[in-house]
A and B are shown apart, each in its own frame.
Chain A
Amino acid sequence: MKNDLNRRRRNARSRFAYLLCVFSAVLALIPLVMIISYVIFQGASALNLDFLTQLPKPVGETGGGMGNAIVGSLILVGIASVIGLPVGILAGAYLAEFRSPRLSWLVRLLADILSGVPSIIVGVFVYALLVLTMKRFSALAGGVALGIMMLPTVARTTEEMLRMVPDSLREASLALGIPRWRTIISIVIKTAGGGILTGIMLAIARISGETAPLLFTALNSRTWPVGLDQPVASLPVQIYTYAISPYADWHQQAWAGSLVLVLMVLVLSVGSKLYFGKKMKMAR
């Protein structure tokens, strides 16, 4: 009898723990659902063609949009990609293909640590590196900051994807007398292309939402972008500026901007994950 009671108590405790686990999973989904629905409902009411194509209006005038910020964000992500992608992919190739154990270990560790450096600190760093030397805030500085942020992600995913390519492919290519560099570029990287692309899209998704490293590198602007050496508006910074302003009209625009930004980021990251998931299934 006593054993029986004991057993029942243990089963009850197990069920309780199970329920707690289910509860935490449900609880975690509540903010997700809330944020996304707020962004959609609040944002959709202020989103229109003007918002996507017009310049911001001065305080007091209604209307206007974030057209310049959207273009600015694209420019910044473009600069970041020009810098971050080649360096990241090459560094990943080094880690996967040329295995000098000690240097690889260090680079891998530092890449992981770099991805954990707070984004605002990358902003301070680029400020000291570029803004102070060029004596002005610029799109270039903002792009460099974002490029530094995407570097470790791209390098590490490239490495992992290249490692998944079987050695037999490399050997077959080398046996045909194809030089090593051609083997890596046209055989190994090409085979791992889908995976690398996924990593690139995730990295771009991540940096396009970054605000902190842009605050004092690209700064902000209320005009269309004029040059890479000039300050430029960006969607996240514009959302921030409008969100902390005291004007209801600007708050609405901040929601609309968030809708555009979240759509961009989610399409990139969800799209790449689904695409990659399908590839993985096909590979099996």
Chain B
Amino acid sequence: MALPLLSLPDNVKKHGRQGSGKLGDPIFTGLTFAAACTILILMALLVYMLFQDSLPSIREFGLGFLSSEEWDPVKDIYGAKPFIYGTVASSLIALVIAVPLSLGIAIYLSQFAPRWLRAPLGFLVELLAAIPSVVYGLWGIFVLAPFLGKTIEPFFADHLGGIPIFSGPVYGVGLFSAGVVLAIMILPTISAISRESMLNVARDQKEAAQALGATPWETVRIAVLPLARPGIIGAVILGLGRALGETMAVTMLIGNRPEISASIFAPAYSIASVIANEFAEVTAGIHMAALIELALILLVITLVLNLFARLLIQKPGSGGLKGKGRA
């Protein structure tokens, strides 16, 4: 892989090639270059257009857009706060549920599971990522939300209702249900990437721990987890990015009410959901600009998170993909 291929075509160029192929190389190189540049241009255009089209709203509301709670298409007053709250809160609920579970799965699949079970089990967990989000939403509306609304939510509301975040009333549909579905949806992402980085921990580290008399769990805790940490953090951030931008399942479950309440069982609204619900019906004007500004906010958040996560995962030698000696 390390051979300097770039020097080869020059040799070929000097020593005989059929006349018909003369233009082939520059044309092909040009085409692949153009294709690669398409990706750059798309990203730049994406950011530019969202910024450009949200300018009316940015000019009108300024920074107050972020802190205002009012969203009133009739009076043309728009504020992003309830949507930012709903997006962040539902994603945090998802992380609280999904991170421990994903790490458990990743540890099991990379360290404890018998070899014959690893591939099929990993495959099944990854299947969760293949199910379309609208199907999660459908299942969420008719199965999960009624179930949560009848069992888990009343349980918390009855026993821990004194704490504001668990206070009733419970509807089934709301922040919590959206968070649970998001947790299921980001579980395969987080577990697959953290499992990779756990597998990449050098075997000597594990053997050293075992030689000191560590139990299997202690080996995981002192040898595997610390070395896999950058990869795990990257995985969690990628999962968070996915949860923040997830649209359909959240739109169908979060309740779609632009309110900020203390309880996690209350209905809320997310950035992606309000865009999904209102965008097609708006024709122009400040309402559309406000929706596009919401999209811009979401884009900036996910761009930063993704950039950060990719840099963490790619970091060589520390649980990245370059480690040798698979355990």
Could you tell me which A residues sit within 8 Å of B by CB distance? 10-11, 13-14, 16-18, 20-25, 27-29, 31-32, 34-36, 38-39, 86-91, 93-95, 97-99, 103-104, 106-107, 109-114, 116-125, 127-129, 137, 148, 151-152, 155, 163, 167, 170-171, 174, 177, 179-182, 184-185, 205-206, 208-212, 215-216, 219, 236, 239-240, 243-244, 251, 254-255, 258, 261-262, 265-266, 269-270, 273
Stretch in B66-74, B77-85, B237-245 touching the partner: B237-245
Are A111 and B39 in contact, CB atoms less than 8 angstroms apart? Answer: yes
Are A38 and B139 in contact, CB atoms less than 8 angstroms apart? Answer: yes
Bound-complex Cα distance A88 to B40 (A):
12
Q: How far is the CB of A136 from chain B (nearest CB, A)?
A: 12
Q: Which B residues between 1 and 23 are near A, CB-CB below 8 angstroms?
A: 1, 3, 5-6, 8-9, 11-12, 15-18, 21
Q: How far is the CB of B171 from chain A (nearest CB, A)?
A: 16
List the 6 shortest-distance A-B pairs measured between CB atoms, nearest first: A118-B245, A209-B132, A24-B104, A181-B28, A90-B35, A94-B32
Interface string of B219-234 (1 = CB under 8 A from A): 0100000000000000
Q: How far is the CB of A279 from chain B (nearest CB, A)?
A: 15
Q: Given A114-B43, A128-B53, are A120 and B36 neighbors across the interface (CB < 8 Å)? A: no
Q: Is B298 part of the contact surface with A, judged by Cβ < 8 Å?
A: yes
Q: How far is the CB of B284 from chain A (nearest CB, A)?
A: 9
Bound-complex Cα distance A171 to B49 (A):
45
Are B215 and A124 in contact, CB atoms less than 8 angstroms apart? Answer: no
Q: Is B306 part of the contact surface with A, judged by Cβ < 8 Å?
A: yes
A24 contact from B29, B108, B142, B292, Cβ within 8 A: B108
Q: How far is the CB of B38 from chain A (nearest CB, A)?
A: 5
Extra contacts, 10 of them, besides A32-B125, A86-B35 (Cβ < 8 A), are A14-B216, A98-B29, A118-B302, A121-B245, A137-B280, A177-B16, A180-B9, A180-B25, A181-B21, A219-B280
Q: Which B residues between 92 and 132 are near A, CB-CB below 8 angstroms?
A: 100-105, 107-109, 112-113, 121, 123-125, 127-128, 130-132
Q: Is B163 part of the contact surface with A, judged by Cβ < 8 Å?
A: no
Bound-complex Cα distance A124 to B46 (A):
9
Q: Is B310 part of the contact surface with A, judged by Cβ < 8 Å?
A: yes
Report chain B residues within 8 Å CB of A185. Answer: 28
Report chain A residues within 8 Å CB of B152. Answer: none
Q: Is B45 part of the contact surface with A, judged by Cβ < 8 Å?
A: yes
Are A174 and B9 in contact, CB atoms less than 8 angstroms apart? Answer: yes
Are A93 and B32 in contact, CB atoms less than 8 angstroms apart? Answer: yes
Q: Given A95-B36, A112-B306, are A21 and B112 neighbors across the interface (CB < 8 Å)? A: yes
Q: Is B50 part of the contact surface with A, judged by Cβ < 8 Å?
A: yes
Q: Is B275 part of the contact surface with A, judged by Cβ < 8 Å?
A: yes
Bound-complex Cα distance A137 to B281 (A):
12
Q: How far is the CB of B62 from chain A (nearest CB, A)?
A: 21
Bound-complex Cα distance A283 to B133 (A):
35
Q: Given A22-B108, A90-B31, A180-B9, are A10 and B218 neighbors across the interface (CB < 8 Å)? A: yes
Q: Given A29-B124, A179-B21, are A117 and B130 neighbors across the interface (CB < 8 Å)? A: no
Bound-complex Cα distance A119 to B6 (A):
37
Are B134 and A120 in contact, CB atoms less than 8 angstroms apart? Answer: no
Are A20 and B43 in contact, CB atoms less than 8 angstroms apart? Answer: no
Are B135 and A262 in contact, CB atoms less than 8 angstroms apart? Answer: yes
